[in-house]
Every structure is written in structure tokens, then in C-alpha cells.
Structure 1
């Protein structure tokens, strides 16, 4: 089975796991959508219009009387287009909303189905180029959603496909642009500080796979080494290098 097929299988399993989430009368602020919008969100999942799913997916939790329950119901309609690059809401915002909805604390069949999608999506991305969602956005989503970066980097380390190598070059273009890596945060609200872990990975696990000329600057490399060895809790922007 190809990695794309494994992702489709994980998405189908997600649909089945969440199929038991029953419709319920959605209540909340009527300023943005009115009673008609709340009524549409109260319909069976397949009858909710796409634009209402998108609107609700990005809305702040305080808008709804029962945000976790509503978001849980909408997950299949959010995740499938999200991983296909066809959802018109910021990928990183979706990760934030899932965390706010407490997805990892949901009943085991639901949380496990979503975890399986993260794993399958990451594998499919590393084996596909170009991917529907950029490597940086994909990494940001699964990192923020799971609260962990290193496991996904470890998977990348042992994946040496042509797609994974090209994605690595793209990631370097993103994080080295204007030296963003020196103070890199992931998430819609910059909630995951990624610099130390990403720099350590870059300078150790995959250094031989990165040919970016910016990493030929010894002063920049020294600066990165300072960042990767900084004690936990020290803001990266507090570390200075006069030669950098």
C-alpha cells in the first residue's frame, strides 16, 4: 500500500470513528451568523454547507456555547480537505483550534483516529513532492496539534526519498529567509517555540543533506550553535553574536 493510500485509509477510519457524533442544537453568538447559521450547524454533518464548516472551523471558541462538542462533530469535514490543501482556513489556525477543543483528551477511538491521520499525513508528505500543503505548514500543524516537534523530525531523518530531500531544501528556504530560524515559532499564535529543536536537528541529524550556502557562513553556524545549546527557558532573541 502506498503512503497516499495509507493516508486515505486513515481518513476513512477517521470518518467512521466520528460517525457516532450525533447532531445537536448548536447555540452561540448570533451576531456573525444569525439563527440561520446556528440551524445549519445543527444539521447532520453531510448537510452542513462548506462555507459554514469553514467559518466555524476558524471561529474563536467563545463564540459557541459548547465549542469542544461542535468542533468534534466537524472534524471529518475539516481534516480531509485540510490535508488535501483545499480548506480555506489557515492550517496552523486549525491546529490551534483542535488543541483548544482538547482533541487529545477525547474518547480513545476519536483521538487515536486523529493521531493516525497525523502520522499518515506526515509520511505521505515526505514521500510526495510537491505536496498539497507546504512542508512548513504541515510540520507546523502536526507539531502544534501534538505539542511535539522532535518525533516528526526523527521520522524525516530516516526518510531519504527524493521528495523528502526536496522538502528539506524548501524548509531551509522558509526558515533561513531573513534568518527566521533564529527566533522560530510555529502555530497561528506562535505557540510552539521551535528554534532550539530545529537547529539541533539541522546541525546534527541532517547537516550532510543540506547544501544551503547560508550554512557555509562560520559566524552564522556559531550563532546557531549558541541557540541550540541555550538553557531551556532562555529566549532565543536574547542571545546575541556581535559577528552575526
Structure 2
């Protein structure tokens, strides 16, 4: 069941974007003309499968990519919020637009939905899509780590949010220690963003993981503050000391 806060965010998205249209032109190799024609019909339901196919295509597949994304948002965000979307993943069409340059009410509506969806995912012991998936989608759509991580950093210590952080870090720690940029959405500049992610984890994850079942996890995260050579020497010593 959609929460009151998420329902309110969806109503705001619908009030701002509902009834918008986009030019019916696009890639006829990927879509039929009758599918593209639906974009020009206000509020014509697209259905889950076509909606997601539209949402994940690169911009040159549409006559007006930004308009297409605006046309999709009410139905797309409602699908996401329902918890029944099994095919959404990064990269996203919204992340491939400069949506923060759109009119303020449109920016606010998008920000509002993403913020509530992320907060409720973190607070849910068993979120429908998994925290790692929602983290990647939100980072991709924001094209930034900051609004996503600010929510995590502000969460109370010792709660469900910390458990989710521990699970995510435990899954990704080997990649992070190897400076693998593909811990980030693949079409973002992982090389540039990875140091920001590692720095944030050292500052915020280390204290939150003090009580993690794996006593080495927080200490491994702390190694991200070190340069490559120094890190692997310290890592070897850490593993050796653990016996």
C-alpha cells in the first residue's frame, strides 16, 4: 500500500506533469508508429512494458527526449511506487535530461518524489526493490550522490537505515577497495564520483557499522581513506590479525 507521503508526492507529480504530451516521432526500429503516437495523446496509458522501454532509451530515440520524459513521469512514478516494477534499472531516461533546468514546480515535484521514495526505502525493513537498487536509481536520476547520501547521513543511529547501509557496504566493499568505478551507475562519471563515495563512507559508514555482525567491515571501510599501496598493506595486516 502506498504511504500517505508517497501518495501526496505522486499527486504533486500528476498535477504538474499529468496531461503533458510529446511529439510522436522517434526510432521506428525500436517502436511501432502506433506506440510513438501514444506520446501525443494526453493521459493515454502506455502500460508497464512500453513505459519502461521508453524510459530506458537514449535521447536520440525520440524527437524530443525531455518532453517524452515529462510525458512519462506520472505513470512511471506511480509504477515505481506500487512496488510491482520488476524491470526498472539504471541508466534512466530522466537521468539523461537536464531536468534541474526545467521550471521550478517541475523540479520540486521530481525532487519531492525521489526524496520520499528514498526515505521510505531506507526505513522499510524489507523494501520492494532493495536498497542497492533504489540507491542506484536515485543517484542516476539525481546525477549526484549528495541528495541521496544526505538522507542517509541524517538518519538516526542504530536503526534500520544502518542495517541497510551495512548490507550495502558488505556487498560492495571488495569493489570499493579495488577502486572499481562500476559501483556507480555505469553511464555516470564513476572515476570522478568514486572518491566522493569513498570519502563519504569513511566519514559516515565507519561509525554506523561499529556494531555490524562482521567486526572487520568498519575497519575495511576505514581503509578507503588510504592510497592504493598503503591500503593493501594495511588490508593484508588486517586480515592476518583476524586469523
Q: Which moved more, 1:44-53 or 1:69-78?
A: 44-53
Unaligned runs of 5+ in 2: 236-243
Tell me, what secondary structure is at the counterpart of 1:124? helix
Structure 2 CA distance for aligned equivalents of residues 199 and 223 of structure 1: 10
Q: What's the CA shift for 1:240?
A: 3.4
Tell me, what secondary structure is at the counterpart of 2:155? coil
Query: CA RMSD for the aligned pairs?
Result: 2.7
Q: Does 1:154 align with 2:150?
A: yes
CA contact (8 A) 1:10 1:120 kept: yes
Where does 1:51-62 land on structure 2 (aligned, <5 Å)? 51-62=49-60
Change (3 A) 1:180 1:51: farther
Aligned to 2:170: 173
TM-score, length-normalised on structure 1? 0.79
CA contact (8 A) 2:22 2:40 kept: yes
CA contact (8 A) 1:129 1:163 kept: yes
Where does 1:68-217 land on structure 2 (aligned, <5 Å)? 68-94=66-92, 97-160=93-156, 162-177=159-174, 179=176, 182-184=179-181, 185-192=183-190, 193-210=192-209, 211=212, 212-215=214-217
Residue correspondences, number? 226
Unaligned runs of 5+ in 1: 228-238
Change (3 A) 1:213 1:77: same
Structure 2 CA distance for aligned equivalents of residues 202 and 119 of structure 1: 20
Aligned to 1:224: 224
Tell me, what secondary structure is at the counterpart of 1:91? coil
Tell me, what secondary structure is at the counterpart of 1:136? helix
TM-score, length-normalised on structure 2? 0.79
Tell me, what secondary structure is at the counterpart of 2:38? helix
Q: What's the CA shift for 1:27?
A: 0.6
